[in-house]
Amino acid sequence: MRIALVGNPNVGKTTLFNALTGAHQEVANWPGTTVEYVIGKIRTSEAGEDLELVDLPGTYALTAYARDERVTRNFLLYEPYDAVIVVVNASSLERNLFLALEVLELTPHVVVALNMVDVAREQGITVYADELSRRLGVPVVPTVASHGTGLAELVAWVRRIGRRRVVPLHTWVVPYPAELREVLEPLAAALAEAALAEAARNAGTLNAAAGAASSGGGPADRGAPGGRTPAGAGRFRPEWVALRLLQGDEEITREVRVVPQGQRAARLALSCCAQSAGIDVELGDEAVALDPALLAKVRAQYEAFELQIADAKYNHISRLVDECVQRQPLAKQTITERLDAVLLHPFWGYPAMAAVFFAAFWLSFVVSAPLSDWVSNGITWLGQWAARGMAALGAPAFLQSLVVDGVFAGVGAVLSFVPYMTIFFAIYQLLQDSGYMARASVLVDRWMQSIGLHGKGFFALVSAYGCNVPAMAATRVMENHRDRLLACLVIPFIPCNARLGVMAVMTAAFFPGTRGAFVMMALLLISAGVVAGASVLYRKTVLPTDPAPLLIELPDYHVPSLRNLAIPTWHRVWMFVSRIWKFLLWATLATWALTYFPVGAPVDQSYAARLGHLLAPVGQLYGFDWRLMIAIVFGFVAKETTLSTLGVLYGAGADGASLPHLLAQSMTPLVAFTYLVVYMLYIPCLSTVIQMHRESGSWKWTAAGMAVNVGVAFSLGLVLERLLWLFG
């Protein structure tokens, strides 16, 4: 049995999912999108069959406008399933029941999980689940997902509902007012007729009606499950289709028009609409399509219907809430209100946010640094053991070098990311789940907007100072594709931990003492300026829209469970490792080959050196020698390796000379500063490029973004070099 799990954001849907499925989960990517959904199995000790549970993105409605909304809707429309669990928050039923009603209009195979009843009780809200169940005509099970309360009963109901033929309590689910019914009912009748005609036509080859009713796929009385009937009106409840047609749903209109009888129904919907809009022409679709004035009128009427339908739903909900919910006025403020008095305070909110983010990044940098060191040291140590073993077996020298400097170095490069990623994603999830992230977005939205970015992108941008890769993953909180793309395009200009490390070492070598601090500050200001400038320019040129409206819920604060933090963290880290390792390993092997061959040659005659000499003319413009150019090229694989590459190229350690010392001897501070600017901005590492492709979904954007990075870095470097040379 396949069960879909839907609900508003912040209702504990994922907590419920985790509680039901435990560790039996896998992440799937929605075809053609970056939207992920998770599939889990409910195991029971009974002999009953396993339930497959699909956690769909949180959504407020099924209208197919927002990205997450569309994924959830498409699943409910076109994928096979046996029942839907609608999770509602018991403390805000007034809004939550809207989605529940939308789902009920689509299929009666619904079990409502009345979640967070404990929180509601604390707020003085009592919901009479039996009464609500009687009024909705589907089971309503009170649950506290975080404590596992009510889950057994929920699963039992799902099993019962999934296999049965369910008749909706009321055909229309919502008692729509008479004037709407006058339009809706003939339309639904026409659609039902179209569906029948369609079934009869299909019956020529197969007894479709019977096939549909007894099929194992989607809800039996929803018509044929996904795949059986490829299109047509008979796929969905006629009442639901009628409602959608009246609101001008283009996708459903297309779907209905596939069969001739459906075309008649679609025309009926259009003329109903035209009539209500006061257009008294006998119209075919062409007339409307051709005349913009008519089209505008019809559109306005669709919207009027939409508003009337929504209004009727909310009125129905008000009645349900009056009958099934008892509210005791609370004298004292809730915890959320008291916290928000500080955290969203017009003044104190900002220092509070700085403190929260500082703690978050301090934890991810400082705690992960020694762990990363252990991991890379461990890998190096293993590599040395492997080399000794191979030497003992008499393996040729190049093979030993391949294993140690190629394979083990590559594996080390992948794994050294893991501690940082793990801690970062856990903290990210904590801020997200606790309800704080929404507040932070609200606090900074005004500033972000002034450079064309969305408030929700702030955390991603700040976290890019840690590592660009998860920062790009963190842009997903934004619903609008352009907002996300823009954030991904500017993130590479922010120096990550690894780049900051290299910058710190070089700055210390060239600008000892207090001057070093000023130089670092100057570098960071340049980076911030480039981020702001690039963002404004992108908005003015290739992404000419304002950031999407900021319209977010500020959920009640709560402490997420360890399990709710651990599961998504694990998914994200695993996703990263499984995607990146191949690329990083090949890149490390290529780097190794370039420096190792031709066999026996000193490092300044290797293929890498020849490549460096090829690039030397470019470097000369800036005063960079071939070794610095090579470090730039190899830095693409992973910025962490820059220092060791430079070490090898400059022959550090050979006569006890340290790399900073050697660097300071080989160039002027002016050249070094230019190099630092170019190095800070030029291109993120390979992992970032791959993540960027994943987030943008397009190689074109990825390549364009990288080209801009390199272009900006080198031209800014050139300008700086000239300026510094003139004045300095």
Partner 1 sequence: MRGSGQHVRTLKLTNLEAGVEAQVKGLTGHPLFRNRLISLGITPHSQIVLVRRMPMGGPLEVEVRGTRLAIRRKDADQIWVSVGDSM
Q: Which residues bind partner 1 (CB under 8 A)?
A: 60-61, 63, 65-66, 91-95, 98-99, 299, 303, 306-307, 310-311, 314, 344, 346-347, 349, 438, 441-443, 445-446, 449, 455, 549-554
The smaller minimum CB distance to partner 1, of residues 441 and 709, is found at 441
Which lies closer to partner 1 via its Cβ, residue 15 or residue 92? 92
Q: Which CB sits closer to partner 1, 78 or 348?
A: 348
d(CA 78, CA 87): 21
Residue number, 126 or 380, with CB nearest to partner 1: 126
CB-wise, 38 or 298, nearer to partner 1?
Answer: 298
Q: Which residues contact 678 (CB under 8 A, 6 or more apart)?
A: 622, 632, 713, 714, 716, 717
Residue with Cβ nearer partner 1 (305 or 650):
305
Residue 7 annotated as lining a ligand binding site: yes
Taking the complex as a whole, how short is the minimal distance between the CB of residue 38 and partner 1, in angstroms? 23
Strand-pair partners of 463? none
Nearer of residues 344 and 577 to partner 1, judged by Cβ: 344
**Is residue 322 a known part of a binding site?**
no
Nearer to partner 1, 299 or 613 (CB): 299
Query: At closest approach, how far in Å is the CB of 467 from partner 1?
Result: 28
- 14 marked ligand binding residue: yes
Give the gyration radius of the chain's Cα atoms.
31
CB 441 → partner 1: shortest distance, Å?
A: 8
To partner 1, the closest distance from the beta carbon of 317 in angstroms equals 9
Q: What angle do CA 4, 5, 7 make, to 5 degrees?
A: 135
11 is an annotated ligand-binding site residue: yes
The per-residue DSSP string of 306-326 comes to HHHHHHHHHHHHHHHHHHHEE
The reply, when asked if residue 96 is annotated as ligand binding, is: no
Q: DSSP states of 67-129 as a string?
A: HHHHHHHHHHHHS--SEEEEEEEGGGHHHHHHHHHHHHHH-S-EEEEEE-HHHHHHTTEEE-H
The answer to whether 724 and 674 have CB atoms below 8 angstroms apart is yes
218 is in an annotated binding site: no
10 has binding-site annotation: yes
Q: What is the greatest pairwise CA distance in the chain?
A: 95
Q: How far is the CB of 249 from partner 1 (least distance, A)?
A: 11
β-sheet bridge partners, residue 55 = 5, 38
- Give the pairing type, strands 36-42 and 51-55: antiparallel
Gap between the Cα atoms of 505 and 663, Å rounded: 10
With vertex at residue 450, the alpha carbon angle to CA 446 and CA 455, rounded to the nearest 5 degrees, is: 45
58 annotated binding-site participant: yes
The reply to whether 380 sits in an annotated binding site is no
Exposure of 263 in the CB half-sphere (CA atoms within 13 A) = 5
CB of 122 to partner 1, least distance (A): 14
Nearer residue to partner 1 within complex by CB, 63 or 149: 63
In sequence order, what are the beta bridge partners of 127?
Answer: 325
Ligand-binding annotation for 297, yes or no, is no
Least Å distance between CB 484 and partner 1? 17
Q: Is 595 annotated as a binding residue?
A: no
Residue 465 near residue 366 (C-beta atoms within 8 A): no
> Could you tell me if 425 and 569 are in contact, meaning their C-beta atoms sit under 8 angstroms apart?
yes
Coil, strand or helix at 699: helix
- The least CB distance from residue 332 to partner 1, in Å, is 17
List the beta bridge partners of residue 6. 86
**Residues 637 and 686 sit within 8 Å (Cβ to Cβ):** yes
Shortest distance (Å) from residue 356 CB to partner 1? 17
Residues within the annotated binding site for Mg(2+)? 18-19, 21-22
Residues within the annotated binding site for GTP? 7-14, 32-36, 55-58, 115-118
Residues within the annotated binding site? 7-14, 18-19, 21-22, 32-36, 55-58, 115-118
